[in-house]
Chains A and B, each alone.
Chain A
């Protein structure tokens, strides 16, 4: 496994996970009927590449919409990063008018023990 790149669709986000620099970016919308299926390769990538202590990882979440099934899978993904050996930080981007997405970011920040930056766009 190396970089993971998935093109976004009307239901699924675009994904760009790279090793150099080590960065995970998810953007667009995530509203698939079955989120587990979509997120599994993303979880597998973390398992395969985040085992080296001392490496830095930047996680960028830039979602316009996500359904509640995706919100659980996103939680799984962030937990997997949190439990890994890398030194990670999260940038949560939201539209300035979108207080719902800001709230969602605050919720993840409250649950996940990673440096979390909420960024209005």
Chain B
């Protein structure tokens, strides 16, 4: 794991590449939260940083192919924090996510909130207790925008990458 003290990584708060597990997620979240306390004055932005980091990392933990190489990066820029999360998935999962993403990203904010509320009310549960709410949370809390990429490789494998931006006011 690289960190912000390396002068070659200006603005880059941390980066890891490798297999992900709950202990690593915990370490990264602790690091992100402490850094947000030091660097972000606005309380709501501070909390959004932690919320989006939590959803991206837990999403990766639950959906990455077992033992596969994931990547996570946090850039603490002036006025904006950026998270990049990439993990291998099955080609089928990649297609499903693409379709869902394309549908949600064109949905107006007011409708997005209503859809999120309907998903919350829905009794469907995933194995870990969620029910498809993670994408809503990432989209709605990353107020600087979110990009999503599906990557396909020649060997038939696939990966997904989220880039989420959180605006930091008063900087």
Which residues of A approach B to under 8 Å, CB–CB? 10-11, 31, 33-36, 39, 64-65, 67-73, 75, 95, 97-100, 103, 107-108, 110-111
Contact = CB atoms under 8 A, between A and B. Distances in A.
Interface residues of B, number: 33
Interface of B: 22, 25-26, 29-30, 42-44, 47-48, 50-51, 54-55, 58, 61-62, 113, 116-117, 120-121, 125-126, 128-131, 133-134, 136-137, 141
B66 to A, nearest CB: 15
A10 B114 CA distance: 31
A67 B117 contact: no
A72 B125 contact: yes
Contacts of B128: 33-36, 69
Contacts, number: 76
A43 B134 CA distance: 23
B50 A65 contact: yes
Contact of B120 (A33, A34, A67, A75): A75
Contacts of A31: 29, 54, 58
